[in-house]
Amino acid sequence: MIFLIWITFFDGNDLISLFSNRVKLAETESDIAYYQERIDMVLAEQARLHGNSDAIERFAREKFLMKKENEDVYVFPQETNNSIFDRLIGF
């Protein structure tokens, strides 16, 4: 019984620390998967833009709202699906 209490609370590698480390590991692995997916998306976008001037122009116009001379750009904000309560109080 003393051994179980010692392992659970007082040891350097106690069960509580082991559990919290496993939770952190799962979160970190999830973050790694997310960022790897984002990196793959960016690399695919880079490959698509490389050497294609029309694609580069379209990318710049869409992402950075660039425009040609004598041209007007209108930005329409997208509406989110807020509840009626959120609309009433202005969120």
Contacts of 91 (CB under 8 A, 6+ apart): 82
For residue 48 the two structure tokens come to 């698509």
What is the pLDDT, as a whole number, of residue 18? 87
Domain region containing 58 = 2-89
- The total domain count for the chain is 1
Give 19-50 pLDDT, tens digit per residue. Answer: 899 999 999 999 999 999 999 999 998 898 88
What lies within 8 Å, CB to CB, of 48 at 6+ separation is 55
- Please provide residue 11's backbone torsions phi and psi, each rounded to the nearest 5 degrees: -70, 155
CB–CB of 41/51 below 8 Å?
Answer: no
With a cut of 70, say whether residue 80 has pLDDT above it. Answer: no
